[in-house]
């Protein structure tokens, strides 16, 4: 292949969906975000979108502001710096692993999936459009 025909280098990435489970005892859920990590690029990011109509359909008394705050907190941990709180000093991989750890709260991570991408920032946007919105 000549340089003009070479495809851009693609790196492995991992991602997990963020699911909203308004009433854990019922097990009903819907996707509200994506967390993506690319080790080769030291990249971690989350994009979220809360569909309040779905939330209200599953639990009319749900705390939408609280769920939105939990989703923003995930984005903050990914962003690092002051927004990451206690995780501010951790590298991208440690922040991703912490975020995908199982928990029994209203916002829960799903299983981790993998793929290849030349642009992790564009990939997280593509995944949130495809799987969440």
Low-confidence ranges of the chain (pLDDT < 70): 1-4
pLDDT at res. 90: 83
Q: Strand 11-20 to strand 43-48: parallel, antiparallel, or no bridges (unpaired)? A: unpaired
pLDDT at res. 130: 96
Q: Where are the domains of the chain?
A: 8-131
Q: Rounded to two decimals, what is the model's pTM? A: 0.87
* CA gap 122, 119 in Å, rounded: 5
- Show the tokens assigned to 102: 């199982």
Taking CA atoms, 62 is separated from 58, 69, 98, in Å, by: 8, 13, 25
* CA gap 57, 67 in Å, rounded: 15
């Amino acid at each position: 292949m000549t340089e003009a025909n070479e495809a851009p280098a693609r790196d492995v990435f991992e991602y997990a969906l963020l699911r909203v489970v308004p009433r854990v005892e019922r097990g009903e859920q819907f996707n509200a975000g994506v967390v993506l990590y690319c080790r080769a690029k030291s990249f971690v990011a989350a994009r979220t979108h809360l569909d309040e109509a779905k939330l209200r359909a599953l639990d009319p008394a749900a705390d939408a502001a609280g769920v939105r705050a939990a989703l923003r907190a995930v984005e903050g941990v990914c962003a690092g710096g002051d927004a990451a709180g206690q995780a501010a000093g951790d590298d991208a991989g440690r922040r991703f692993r912490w975020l995908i750890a199982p928990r029994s709260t209203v916002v829960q991570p799903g299983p981790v999936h993998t793929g290849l991408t030349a642009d992790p920032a564009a990939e997280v946007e593509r995944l949130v459009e495809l799987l969440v919105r």
